[in-house]
């Protein structure tokens, strides 16, 4: 339950940051449970984005089934999904869904090097 509370807190934090920048943001209820929708959908008159939020300190991992559902959602809506990755005491970093790499264990992942080169919040808004 602690991990869920931490993740939900980070989601709300990103939602507020996006709202300050002029986006209308919808937080999908139960997104982590049903795996059908991204955690956040952010819309403005000029930009549309969706986010799967992860508060992980080490390498990030998403099961292949969830990755496939997110990829399908992205194709159906034409709204790009970004992995919003938050580490304690670090700024948000953003990876396009397609930047995750297929692993041998039926999952997709990003490592700490990927975190270092990922987009920052300011880059995302360009």
9: domain CATH number is 3.40.1350.10
Matching residue, tokens 């982590």: 32
pLDDT score recorded for residue 8: 74
Contacting residues for 38 by C-beta, under 8 A, at least 6 apart? 28, 31, 50, 51, 52, 70, 73, 81
In the predicted model, is pLDDT for residue 64 greater than 70?
Answer: yes
pLDDT, tens only, 65-124: 999 999 999 999 999 999 999 988 888 999 999 999 999 888 999 999 999 999 999 999
Using alpha carbons, select from 121, 120, 100, 119 the residue that is nearest to residue 111.
Answer: 100
| Total structural domains within the chain | 1
**Domain range enclosing 113:** 2-124
């Amino acid at each position: 339950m602690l991990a869920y509370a931490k993740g939900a807190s980070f989601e709300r934090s990103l939602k507020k940051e996006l709202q300050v920048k002029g986006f209308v943001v919808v937080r999908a209820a139960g997104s982590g449970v049903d795996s059908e929708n991204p955690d956040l959908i952010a819309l403005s008159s000029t930009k549309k984005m969706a986010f799967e939020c992860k508060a992980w300190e080490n390498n990030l991992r998403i099961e292949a089934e969830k990755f496939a559902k997110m990829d399908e959602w992205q194709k159906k809506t034409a709204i790009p999904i970004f992995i919003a990755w938050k580490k304690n005491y670090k700024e948000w970093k953003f990876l396009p869904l397609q930047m995750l790499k297929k692993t041998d264990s039926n999952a997709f992942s990003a490592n700490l090097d990927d975190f270092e080169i990922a987009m920052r919040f300011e880059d995302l808004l360009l």
